[in-house]
Every structure is written in structure tokens, then in C-alpha cells.
Structure 1
């Protein structure tokens, strides 16, 4: 539960996740290419790796990486020293700009799954009283258990919807 609450804190969690993903990808590309900074070709490969990590590790829909033209434009905006390559700090800034919308979508999905679903469950618990067989079982469950079951069902429903698309 502590991890869930940490994710709901928002900005700090997103910044840590972006930094962790960025550092991992930057180090991997730097070690493979043998260069200190990332040129455009290395940068685009790193964008693909970042989006692969985002799709693997963060809840939410599948996110397609941006087009090469978008990456090139954003690279020029983030290249502070105008050397045509991005160093580690420029790369982190680049990734923050590139993934801002992605993390907003993930955060909205977490809020729906972890705040709205339990609230909805508790509000609708009384509605199950009249359902034969199910109503008595639901009424005997503690509120926390019932809310957890409904939240789990919502999360599973969200994930199944993502797999179909």
C-alpha cells in the first residue's frame, strides 16, 4: 500500500521514474556506442528503449514512440551547448519533455483505479442487498475487503481493455 501512496504523490514520483529510466538508457547507449554524448542516431534508439521501458513498467495504455522529426526538433530545443549531441543532463531534460503527456495519462489511470474505484465500491455496496445470494455475502464482507476486490476488478478490466487495443 505504501508504494501505491507513493505513486499518488505525483510529481516527485514521476521525476524519480524519469531520472531512473533516463540514466539506465543513457548508460546503456553510451556503453554500446563508446561515445560520451548521444548523437541523433543514438538518441532515437534511446527514445525507443525509454518507450519500451514505459510500456513494460508503468500502468496504462501502450504508448507509441514519437516520430524522428519530433525527436530531432526536441533535440535541438534541449541541446543547450549547441554541439549537436546531448549529454546526460540535456538527455534527462529531453526525456522529461518527451514523456510529459505519457506520465499524465499514467497518473490519471492510477487515480481512477486507486481512488475512484474504492469510493464507487463503498457507495454501491448497499445496492447489492437485494441481489439474491450475492447480497448477503457482500454485506458480510468488511468494507476494506470489498473495496479491494472491486478495485482489483477495475484494474484487471483496465488491463484487459489495453490488451485488446
Structure 2
């Protein structure tokens, strides 16, 4: 549960996750060449690795990496010293820019799953009173248990729908 609250803390958590990912990927890709900067080809490989990590580790739908043209354009914008390559700081700025929409989508999914679903569950609990057999069982459940069950159902439905995409 602590991990969930960390994710809801927002910008600080997101910045920490981006920094972890960028440090790991930059060191991995630049370590293969022995240089302290990335060319366009190395940068695109790094972008693919970052999006692979995002899709494996973070909740939400599958995110496609940007096209080579978009990477090239954004690379030119982030290349502060105009050497045609990105150093570590430029790379961090680049990754923050390229992933900003991705993290917004993830945050929205977490809000729906973890805040909206339990609220709706509690609000609709009273509606089950008239349902034979089910109504009595639902009314005997504590609100926290009922909200947790509905939230788990919403998360399962979201996961199933993502798997079918």
C-alpha cells in the first residue's frame, strides 16, 4: 500500500522514477561506446529501452515510443551545446520531455482506479439493498471491505481490457 501512496505523491515520485530510468539507460548505452554522450542512433536505442522499461514496470496501457523523426526533432531542441549529441544532463531533459504525456496517462489511470472506484462503490452500496440475496450480503460487509472488492474488480477489468488491446 505504501507504493501506491508513493505513486500518488505526483511530481516528486515521477521525477525520481524518470531519473532512475535515465541514469540506468544512459550508463548502459554510453558504456557500450565508452563516451559521455549519445549520437542519434544511440539515443533512439535508449528511447526504445526507456519505453520498454515503462511498459514493463508502470501501470497503464502499452505506450509506443516516438518515431525517429520526433526523436530527431526533440534531440535538436534538447542539444544545448549544439554538438549533435546529448550528454547526460541533456539526455535527462530529453527523456522528461518525451515521456511527459506517458506519465500523465499513468497518473489518470491511478486516480480512476484508486480514488474514483472506491467512492462510487460506497455511493452505490445502498442501491444493492433491493437485490435478493445479494443485498443482504453487501449490507453486512463493512464499507472498507466492499470498497476494496469493487476497486479490485475495476483494476481487474482495466487489466483485462489492456491485455486485449
TM over 0.5, shorter chain: yes
The corresponding residue for 2:105 is: 105
The reply on whether 1:42 has 2:42 as its aligned counterpart is yes
Q: Report how far residue 2 of structure 1 moved.
A: 2.1
Per-residue deviation, 1:115: 0.4
**SS of aligned partner of 1:73:** helix
C-alpha separation between the residues in 2 aligned to 1:106 and 1:83? 34
For residues 119 and 33 of structure 1, what CA distance do their matches in structure 2 show?
52
Question: What is the Cα deviation at residue 6 of structure 1?
Answer: 1.7
Q: Distance in 1 between matches of 2:158 and 2:17?
A: 22
Q: Deviations over 1:6-64 (max 9, x none)?
A: 21121111111111111111111112222221111100000000000111111111110
Distance in 2, Cα, partners of 1:153 & 1:12:
29
CA distance in 1, matches of 2:146, 2:15: 33
Say if 2:151 is the partner of 1:151. Answer: yes
User: Does 113-122 or 126-135 show the bigger shift?
Assistant: 126-135
TM, length-normalised to structure 2: 0.97
User: 1:8 corresponds to which residue?
Assistant: 8
Write the deviation string for residues 93-112 of structure 1: whole angstroms up to 9, x where unpaired: 00000001000000000000
User: 2:34, 2:159 → 1: CA distance?
Assistant: 39
For 1:41 and 1:85, the matched residues in 2 are separated by: 10
- What residue is the counterpart of 1:136 in the other structure? 136
C-alpha separation between the residues in 2 aligned to 1:163 and 1:113?
17
| Structure 2 residues without counterparts, runs of 5 or longer | none
RMSD: 0.9
Between the two proteins, the alignment pairs up a number of residues equal to 165
Alignment of 1:1-165 (within 5 A): 1-165=1-165
Aligned-pair distance for 1:138?
A: 1.1
